[in-house]
Amino acid sequence: MRYQLLKLKKERSTKPERIVAEILKRNRIKFRAKVVICGREVDFLVGNVVIEIGDHLQNLQKNKEILESGYSMLNLTNKEIYQNPKEVEKTIINWFKKNG
């Protein structure tokens, strides 16, 4: 996990990505950061779940290819991560209880 956190150093990632990484780490959820799937980089991979962070739906074609490859997706916005990180943590934990 230490190697995955190194990928998220300040100059290589956004603050919301680092917040989500801390949430995953704090809850002992094993993850990989900055993983390439279907030739496209995703923010996080937890098992077969892709977590994407951004203020838009990213690239719809990218999302379609990832879903067609058998992965599930959890999309989070920068705004919700900044405004209420505790609620985002609950969302992540509940999502993995249901789907993980």
In a domain, 52, yes or no: yes
Using alpha carbons only, how large is the chain's radius of gyration in Å? 13
Q: What is the CATH number of the domain that holds 12?
A: 3.40.960.10
In a domain, 32, yes or no: yes
In a domain, 92, yes or no: no
Helix axes 85-99, 15-26, angle to 10 degrees: 50
According to DSSP, residue 50 is labeled: E
In a domain, 24, yes or no: yes
pLDDT digits (tens, 9 = 90+) for 8-39: 555 577 889 989 999 999 998 999 998 999 88
What residues make up the domain containing 77? 2-83
Q: Residue 26 class from Cβ within 10 Å (0-12 exposed, 13-18 middle, 19+ buried)?
A: exposed
pLDDT digits (tens, 9 = 90+) for 59-88: 778 888 899 999 998 889 999 999 999 999
The tally of CA atoms less than 13 A away on the side-chain side of residue 97 is 7
Q: Residue 83 corresponds to which amino acid?
A: Q
